[in-house]
Amino acid sequence: MNEAIPQLTSYDEPSLEAAFATLSEEVRTTDATDPEAFRLHWLGRKQGRLKLISEAWLKSAPAEARKPLGIRFNQLKQQIEQALESPVSAPAKSEQQGIDITLPGTVRAPGIPHPLLKTMHEIVSVFHHLGYSTNLGPQVESDFYNFEALNFPPNHPARDTQDTLQIAAQHTRPSRDRLLMRTHTSPVQIRTMIAQAPPIRIVIPGKVHRNDAADATHSPIFHQVEGLCVDTNITFSDLKGTLDHAMKALFGSAVKTRFFPSFFPFTEPSADVQISCIFCGGKGCRKCKHSGWIELLGCGMVDPAVFASVTEERRKLNPSDDAYNPEKITGFAFGMGVERIAMIQHGISDIGHFYSGDVRFLEQFA
C-alpha cells in the first residue's frame, strides 16, 4: 500500500468512523486557494488521493464492509466537491491581509434617462416655466372620462374596438362605466376640472394605448403630453402665443409656427400646429416632404359641451355649482406625441427603436 495512504486494520464501525474522520479533517485543512491543484490532489483520475484510498481499502475489505465503506466514500467526495465550490482558506487569507478602507470603492456608472422620458421631461419643463403644474391619472379609464365627457358621440369611430383597447367582460356595465385603456391623457383634464374650480393651468404627461398595428411611425403604446388652461378671458391668441413659445423653447428660437383649421370633438375651434422644418430651415427636404413644414400637434379652444359635462358632474355634489359656465370662463387645450418630437429632435426614423431595449441604440443618448 502507498505510504501516504493511512492504514486500515479493522472494518468495524468505530474503526471506519475514526479513519474517515481523519480524512475529513485532512480535507478541511488542505489549502483550497488553488482549486485546480486541490481537485487534482483529491479527485485526480490516476493519482487522486480519494481514488488511491478507495482502491487500497476496498481490495482487502470483506463483503459485509463494502457498503458502509461506499457510503462514507460518497460523503467524503461530497465534502471535497463542496470545498471546491466555496474554498474555506480564501476568506481566512483575506481576513489575515485585512481590507484597506482608504482605497477608493468600485465606481458604478450611473444610468441615463430613457430618450422618451428625457424628451417628456423637457416638454414638461417648458410649461413649468410658464406656470403650469403637472397632473397625472390612471391608464385604465372609464368610457365617461375617456369619451363621453370629452364630447365623443356614442357612434364615434374612436369608441370602436378597432381603434380602442377595451377591457374584457364590460358588456354588463352601463356604457359610461365600461373600462378601457385610455387613448389619450385628456381624461385627466376632466378629472382635474371636476375636482378643481378655475383657474387651471396643467400639463399632463403619460402613457396611452391604441389598437394600432406597429410600423415605423405607429405603436400600440406611446406617450403624450397634453395641456389645459381655463380662466376668464382666455383667447385663441393666448393659445397661439403659448405654443409658439413652447416650440421655440424645444427646437430653437428660429423655428416658426403656423396653425391650420382642424377638428377634435373636445375643442371648437380646433387647429393643427406645424413648425418650420428644423432640418432644412423651411427650404424643403425629404424629411419635411419638401414642404418646409412639419406637423407636430393639435390644439383648440375647449368646447362648451365639455364644460357642460364637467358642470353636470360637479352639481352632483353642489347643485348650485356654476364654476364652469361657458359664458364666464374659456379655455384652451393642446396635445402632442412625445415619440414624434423625440424622433424629430434626434433624427430617428423608426419608433420601434424606443421599445426594442437595444443597448446599442440607448447608449447613443448617454
**Which residue, 337, 312, 335, 334, is CA-closest to 322?**
312
Short-list 77, 100, 97, CA closest to 89: 97
Q: Note the pLDDT tens digit of each residue in 88-138.
A: 444 444 445 677 788 888 777 777 889 999 999 999 999 999 999 999 999
Task: Supply the mean pLDDT for the chain.
Answer: 87
Dihedral angle of Cα 50, 52, 55, 60, to the nearest 10 degrees? -110
120 CB-near residues (< 8 Å, 6+ apart): 205, 223, 225, 338
Q: How far apart are CA 156 and CA 171, in angstroms?
A: 18
List all residues 6 or more positions away from 31 whose beta carbon is below 8 Å from its beta carbon: 38, 89
User: Cell numbers at residue 171, please?
Assistant: 358588456
pLDDT computed for residue 97 by the predictor: 61
Which residues make Cβ contacts (< 8 Å) with residue 43, sequence separation at least 6?
50, 51, 77, 80
CATH of domain 115-365: 3.30.930.10
Predicted local distance difference test score (pLDDT) of residue 87: 55
Which pLDDT does position 262 carry in this prediction? 95
- 162-197 pLDDT per residue, tens: 789 999 998 889 989 999 999 999 999 999 999 999
Domain positions in the chain: 13-97, 115-365
Rounded CA-CA distance 305/309 in Å is 6
Q: Find the mean pLDDT for residues 243-265.
A: 94
d(CA 86, CA 38): 12
